[in-house]
Amino acid sequence: MEYKVVVTEDARGDLNRYLRYLVDELGSVGAAKSVLDDFEETVAQLATMAGVFRLCENPKLRKRNLRRINFRRHRYFLLYHISGECAVVDRMFHQLQDYEAKIK
C-alpha cells in the first residue's frame, strides 16, 4: 500500500531545531545537510513502509497509535501514526532523548 506522508508542524519544528543546533552550536553545515538528507529519505520510506512498523510499546504512545521509524545513518527517529491512507509524522527525536516524557 502506498501512503501519503504528512509532516506536522511539530515534526518540522523538531527538525529545524536539530539543524540549527548542528549549524549554530557545532558549526557543521555538512552534518546538518546529512541529517536533512536522512530525514527526507526516511519520510520517503514511510510512503511504502508505514504499515510495516509495530505500534510503540509504551502504553501512552500505543494509545495514540504511534509507531517509530529510525533514520538509516543517524541516531534520530520519527514518531508517526497512520490515518486512513496517510502516514502522519508527529515528532522527531534523537535516540538519547527521553521522548516518551515529551509526548503530550
Q: What CATH number corresponds to the domain at position 16?
A: 3.30.2310.20
Q: Given a cut of 90, is residue 80 above it in pLDDT?
A: yes
- Distance between CA atoms of residues 76 and 70, nearest Å: 6
Q: Summarize the chain as % helix, strand, coil (round to 5).
A: 50, 25, 25
Residue 83: domain span:
4-102
pLDDT tens for residues 12-32? Answer: 999 999 999 999 999 999 999
pLDDT at 78 over 90: yes
User: How many separate domains does the chain show?
Assistant: 1
pLDDT tier for residue 104 given thresholds of 50, 70 and 90: low
Q: Which three cell numbers stand for residue 81?
A: 501514526
Residue 74 has pLDDT above 80, yes or no: yes
